[in-house]
Chain A
Amino acid sequence: MRGIDYVLKRVGFAVVTVFVAVTINFVLFRLAPGSAVTNLSRVPHATQQLRHALEVQFGLDKSKGAQYAIYLKQLVHGNLGVSYENEQPVSTNLRVALINTLPMVTLGTIFSIIIGTLTGVIAAWRRGTPTEAVTVSSALGFYSMPTHWLGLMLIIIFAGVLPTGGMTNEFLLNPGFWQHLKDLGSHILLPSLTLGLVLYGEYTLIVRSAMLETLGEDYILTARAKGLKPWTIVRRHALRNAMLPITTLIALSFGYIVAGAILIETVFSWPGIGRAVYEAVLERDYPMLQGAFLLLTIAVVLCNLVADLLYFKLDPRITE
């Protein structure tokens, strides 16, 4: 029953982490400048009614402890307050932004996995040759570039060829389904390519060292002795085991993906969650910033949990 123990432990840690994040969120934003009590109800141009409704909802006239309890209760109901900017509920804003972010981030991650795995395998297989030196140093090079700067470079290079901002062409009136998809595809390419290029370096290095380790195993020697083709050995025998650390790394790198998404969406005016963070910072839209931060934290914690459980499932050698 060690397995269940392990799963319970990880799930427990995730739950506690989310709870701590929620609490820190409460503390941080109650420390925000300006009158803390009116922070949530300080929606500009809000009617007296909305302001009053918010004050009652979040119990802003009560003690800090009571406020915390109310905050938790509202959170469970998905109520994160009202955005200063467009006076919509934060949760609605976040839902729209999240739906926009997901395809871009997913495509970017897929790019990085493909490039990273390929270059990593090549680097390990061609160990000690100039090919390895080139793949590893270019991986390190891209890894070193500031995310937003790489995005700007792609804009300079592809300006005129690919759209460099926004998610769709606003002048395209009533596009058909395929036309819309093509439009979206051309807009999504540069942001997700930026994410892919920034992320792939780490995959390359991990794939390379994992491959080197598996290539040293006895069963690889057996496979070679059997006279299998090198490519078959890589694909069927080495890569499968080498993919173990990669599966977890993918989930673990979600934190970096989130950071990258904020910078990339700012550069490419992609109307997703990262851009929402940027705009919330510019406008000092605290409810929005608070909600976005909470959503991002929970997403990262969940991804870490998935990584842990996945790794446990995939590699029975783990003993913790």
Chain B
Amino acid sequence: MSNVTPLIEAPAETASSRRGFLLRTLRHRPAAVIGTVILVVVSLVAVLAPWIAPYGLHTQVGPVFGHPAWKHPLGLDDGGIDMVTLLMWGVRVSLVVGFAATFVSMAIGGAVGVIAGYFGGWVDTLLMRITDYFLVVPDVPLMIVVAAIWGPSLFHIIIVIGILLWTSTARVIRAQVKSVRERVYVKRARALGAGHTRIVLRHVLPQVAPLLIANTVLTVAVAIFDETALSFLGLGDPSTTSLGKVIENAFERAAISSGAWWAIVPPGALVALIILGCSLVGGSLEDALNPRLRVAHLSARTFRLRPLVGRGADAL
């Protein structure tokens, strides 16, 4: 466990070449471009919702489950509220939950990963055992249990998702920190008398940051999915309108048996689109940044195998 050597040593990069690297990644991967476009558009809608939403979020503008029409392209929901308006506000709340929960999990996962990787020894063993435990426990049932006991509120949802999602971040960051720690410039900094805090903040974190970003984007996807699931099970905040809440509401009020597909198809499709966007961006970034993923066995499991350098995807 203690001395994992990376299969492929990533070259040390300056800040500008790292930025160039990100841009190059985006250019060579159409998936990343599509994902970025999706996320930018969705985020814009979320930010601008109060100004661009055509109707009020609580104003009834027509009959219950009104059909799609020129004035309401996606019809009306069970309260006669315009679906387009509802979706815009829903995206806003879902993204807030996604990002806030991710922020919580990044803070925990990043801290655990950096501390475990940097200090090693028994600290590492202890933290990784805890991580292993959280990795094994099925997180959705645990989220349900905690949310059910704690009561429904947006804040609780964010915290519950956040404190259960940090494991993969912690592991990825730890592996990276372990390899960065052994680099010559870190050793030099230590020899020059730099303290742990300074080394971690100035020398280790900047190297790990791109991977942390990739991981963040992937975590946002999971957090949004989890919010949708919790809302569907009746554990969402009753006073807010997230996309998960919109789906749950339509399901509860029998949108399907009323034939009101427009009340239930678009919100789910929108969630799928956001998750797809996150997966495309996060996946491409991680692919480009994490050398371990180039070996299929390592991406599936954390076992160390005999190095298979020089084979792999590009050999055929």
In the complex, B228 has a CB within 8 A of chain A: yes
- CB of A263 within 8 Å of the partner chain: yes
B313 touches A28 (CB 8 A): no
| B229→A146 contact, CB < 8 A | yes
B18, chain A: closest CB distance, angstroms: 25
Closest chain A residue to B226, Cβ basis: A259
CB distance from A163 to the nearest CB of B (A): 14
Residues of the A chain whose Cβ atoms lie less than 8 Å from the Cβ of B132? 13, 17
Distance of A275 from chain B, by nearest CB (Å): 11
**C-alpha gap A50/B264 in the complex (Å):** 45
Task: Check A141 for interface membership: any CB of B closer than 8 A.
Answer: yes
Task: Compute how far the CA of A21 lies from the CA of B314 in the bound complex, rounded to whole angstroms.
Answer: 43
- Residue B68 at the chain A interface, CB threshold 8 Å: no
Judge if B176 is at the interface, Cβ distance under 8 Å. no
Whether A148 lies near B247 (C-beta < 8 A) is: yes
Whether A245 touches B133, Cβ cut-off 8 Å, given contacts A146-B228, A281-B144, A296-B138, is no
Tell me whether B308 is interfacial, beta carbon within 8 Å: yes
B145 near A293 with CB under 8 A, answer yes
Contacts of A32 in B (CB 8 A): 149
User: Which of A209, A217, A300, A315 is most buried by chain B, counting CB atoms within 10 A of its CB?
Assistant: A209
Contact of B268 among A145, A300, A317 (CB under 8 A): A145
A contact set with B: CB distance below 8 Å:
13, 17, 20-21, 28-29, 31-33, 127, 140-141, 143-150, 152-153, 155-156, 159, 206, 209-210, 212-213, 215-217, 244-245, 248-249, 255, 258-259, 262-263, 266-267, 277-278, 280-282, 284, 286, 289-290, 292-293, 296-297, 300-301, 304, 311, 315, 317-320
Q: CA–CA, A290 to B145, complex, Å?
A: 8
A-B contact pairs, 17 of them (CB 8 A): A33-B151, A146-B247, A149-B247, A152-B247, A156-B261, A206-B299, A210-B296, A210-B300, A213-B295, A259-B229, A262-B233, A277-B141, A281-B233, A281-B234, A297-B138, A300-B137, A318-B304
- Give CA–CA (A30, B149) in the complex, Å: 10
- The reply on B140 being an interface residue by CB < 8 A is yes
Partner of B316, one of A212, A292, A297, A317: A212
A248-B296 in contact given A262-B140, A278-B233, A281-B235 (Cβ < 8 Å): no
Contact A248 B300, beta carbon cutoff 8 Å: yes
Q: Which residue of chain B has its CB nearest to the CB of A212?
A: B313
Could you say which interface size class chain B belongs to? 35 or more
Q: Which of B57-65, B101-109, B116-124, B275-283 contacts A (4 or more CB under 8 A)?
A: B275-283
Which residues from chain A contact B232 at a C-beta distance below 8 Å? 146, 148, 263, 266
Q: Are A146 and B304 in contact (CB under 8 A)?
A: no
**CB-based A-B contact count at 8 angstroms:** 176
What residue of chain A has the Cβ atom nearest to residue B274's Cβ? A144
Give 5 closest A-B pairs by Cβ, nearest first: A149-B268, A216-B315, A259-B140, A245-B300, A144-B275
For residue B97, CB closer than 8 A to chain A, the reply is no
Which of chain B's residues 268-301 have a Cβ closer than 8 Å to chain A?
268, 271-273, 275-276, 279-280, 295-297, 299-301
Q: Which residue among A32, A210, A259, A297 has the maximum number of chain B CB atoms within 10 Å of its CB?
A: A259
Is B256 on the interface with A (CB-CB < 8 A)? yes
Binding site for A on B (CB under 8 A): 1, 132-133, 136-142, 144-146, 148-149, 151, 221, 225, 228-229, 232-235, 244, 247, 251, 256, 261, 264-265, 267-268, 271-273, 275-276, 279-280, 295-297, 299-301, 303-306, 308, 311-316
A311 to chain B, nearest CB (A): 7
- Contact partners of B265 in chain A: CB under 8 A: 153, 156
Set of chain B residues within 8 Å of A146, measured between Cβ atoms: 225, 228-229, 232, 244, 247, 268, 271-272, 275
Q: Please, how many angstroms separate the alpha-carbon atoms of A302 and B217 in the complex?
A: 31
- Of B133, B145, B273, B301, most A-chain CB atoms within 10 Å: B145
Complex: chain A residue closest to B137, CB-CB: A297
Which chain B residue lies CB-closest to A32? B149
Partner of B296, one of A29, A140, A159, A212: A212
Measured in the bound complex, the distance between the Cα atoms of B5 and A319 in whole Å is 14
Chain A interface SS verdict (over half): helix
What separation, in Å, do the CA atoms of A248 and B275 have in the docked complex?
25
- Residue among B141, B229, B267 facing the most chain A CB atoms (10 A cut-off): B141
In the complex, the chain B residue whose C-beta lies closest to that of A292 is B141
A143 vs B275: C-alpha distance in the bound complex, in angstroms? 9
In angstroms, Cα B137 to Cα A317, docked, is 28
Contacts of A155 in B (CB 8 A): 256
Quick check: B275 and A156 within 8 Å, CB to CB?
no
Give the residue of A153, A215, A249 whose beta carbon is less than 8 angstroms from that of B300: A249
What's the nearest-Cβ distance from chain A to residue B139, in Å? 7
Answer whether A262 and B261 are a contact pair too, CB < 8 Å, given A146-B225, A213-B308, A216-B311. no
Chain A's nearest CB lies how many Å from the CB of B230?
10
Chain B proximity of A26: nearest CB distance (Å) = 12
Known: A212-B296, A293-B145, A296-B141; 15 extra A-B contacts, CB below 8 A, are A17-B136, A145-B272, A146-B228, A148-B232, A149-B272, A155-B256, A209-B313, A212-B313, A258-B141, A259-B139, A262-B233, A290-B145, A296-B138, A315-B305, A318-B303
With contacts A213-B311, A259-B141, A301-B136 taken as known, whether A248 is within 8 angstroms of B268 at the C-beta atoms is no
Q: Considering the chains assembled together, what is the distance between the CA atoms of A203 and B106 in angstroms?
A: 27
